[in-house]
Amino acid sequence: MLNNLYFYLLSAVPEGADTLLHKAAEGSQAAAEATEESHELPNLVTFINKSFAHHYDTLIYAGFVALMMIVVALITYRKRQLIPGKLQNLVEMILEALDNLIFSVMGKEGRKFLPFLGTLFLYIWFMNLIGLIPFFKSSTSSINTTAALALTVFLYVQYTGIRRLGPWGYIHHLLGSPTDAVTWALAPINFPIHVIGELAKPFSLALRLFGNITGEDILIAAFVSLGIMFMGIFHSPIGFPFQIPFLLLAMLTSTIQALVFTMLSTIYFVMVLPHEEGGH
């Protein structure tokens, strides 16, 4: 179905059987060339305005996902009932699962960070999955999106550390929390190591998510392109859905990547919290 949708948009409506086969060959070649140039499938914004999409399609789809999440949240909140309906039951089930997961890592402190971490997981998860829908794009396949998410986590973690530990406590944490002569002697070595480690965290978060989602998109685009090329080779008006198994795999890996990003962010919060407050 995905191949056929792209084929019909990339080629004109045929008038006869011979024209159908001719258009299939031309459409398959054009689609394959377009996919090879961009390393990803065209999205709806690309068809509307290619130059505009090159700069803003990532922002458009990220904003679309955020808008849909806000709409669902507002509908669920305004129509909440003591006996929940299907939508409210689904939302509550997801929130309860996230609450249990974060609580298992952070303890009672986890509920204070649940709004941020839960929203972070859902936002990344939906952005990952929306790219599997024909004519949509995963905004997380752009390094700009993943870098912005990672930078947000980094700043929030540092703010939490300074607020909970105090300025001196935060510096003491970066020094390796020295308590005796030996650890104080190692503090000049521990300090740059800890600073580099803190600065490496957002790079790790951003590049991991970007690399995995981009790899999924390139793989799916390659097999869609292969299926379209086979339309011309075998003179068939029906595409070959070689990408179906990889779409199912991408659904799993998209969920895993959103979970990994969220769990690493949760651990970063645990690392800057005082031990007695972190519960570990």
Q: Tell me the C-alpha distance between 130 and 143, whole Å.
A: 17
Residue with tokens 């607020």: 163
In terms of pTM, does the model score above 0.75?
Answer: yes
**Amino acid at site 157:** V
Give residue-wise pLDDT tens across range 175-205. 888 888 888 888 888 888 989 989 999 999 9
Cβ atoms 268, 201 nearer than 8 A: yes
What is the rounded distance in angstroms from the CA atom of residue 40 to the CA atom of residue 114? 34
The CA distances from residue 157 to 23, 116, 153, 154, 272, in Å, are: 55, 11, 6, 5, 7
Q: How would you class 27 by CB atoms within 10 Å of its CB: exposed for 0-12, middle for 13-18, buried for 19 or more?
A: buried
79 — phi, psi (to 5°)? -110, 25
Please tell me the predicted confidence (pLDDT) of residue 115: 92
Q: Which has the closest alpha carbon to 156: 204, 206, 116?
A: 116
Q: How confident is the model at residue 221 (pLDDT cuts 50, 70, 90)?
A: confident
